Amino acid sequence: MGQITVEQTPIEGLVVVTPKVHGDARGYFMETYNRNDFEAAGIPQVFVQDNQSSSSRGVLRGLHFQIHYPQDKLVRVVRGAVFDVAVDLREGSPTFGQWFGITLSAENKKQLFIPKNFAHGFYVLSDEAEFCYKCTDFYHANDEGGIAWNDPEIGIRWPIPDGETPVLSEKDRKWGGFASYCAER
């Protein structure tokens, strides 16, 4: 018990989880998820699906969410580093439309718990990154929503080097801005 520490962010419900790492000359061991510890920390969600992606430097994935089947997510990086972002889309929230970003890496071993009704995305900082996440609902391909990664109304300060353009999927190039999202609700 007690194998994690939980740090609140400026957005209620969005928390940084740091596992206790047990290391010696052989390497290290850590529990990345223990239901008892998470419940004790106020995160009682039951996860039903694990996902993993691999991306190269400069790839930006997001900002994504599920419309009718929202998911809580627990995200982490097992190789490399990313700048991870969550945007509050909860109706009536005092932080609606605000974002929080953090570097997640294989080195710092931090995780981000993202509640339902947040948009999520990340930008790859290392040559390659492997990104893992647990979800509380299954992925529904026809239920996908998104917001433009560079929407000025949200104003995410991505750590993209001057003169570089992030590598986006065709789908991520087409998302509308935050105002469009709000108009469609």
In degrees, rounded to 5, the angle at the alpha carbon of residue 38 between the alpha carbons of residues 73 and 82 is 40
Q: Choose, from 120, 123, 133, 181, the residue flagged as catalytic.
A: 133
Q: Choose, from 22, 28, 33, 64, the residue flagged as catalytic.
A: 64
- Contact between 75 and 129 under an 8 Å Cβ cutoff? The reply is no
Q: Verify whether residue 28 is a known catalytic residue.
A: no
- Contact between 69 and 137 under an 8 Å Cβ cutoff? The reply is yes
For residue 63, cis peptide bond before it (omega within 30 degrees of 0): yes
Q: Verify whether residue 64 is a known catalytic residue.
A: yes
Tokens in use for 1?
């018990």
CA dist 2 → 39, 96, 182 (Å): 11, 32, 40
Residues with catalytic roles? 64, 133
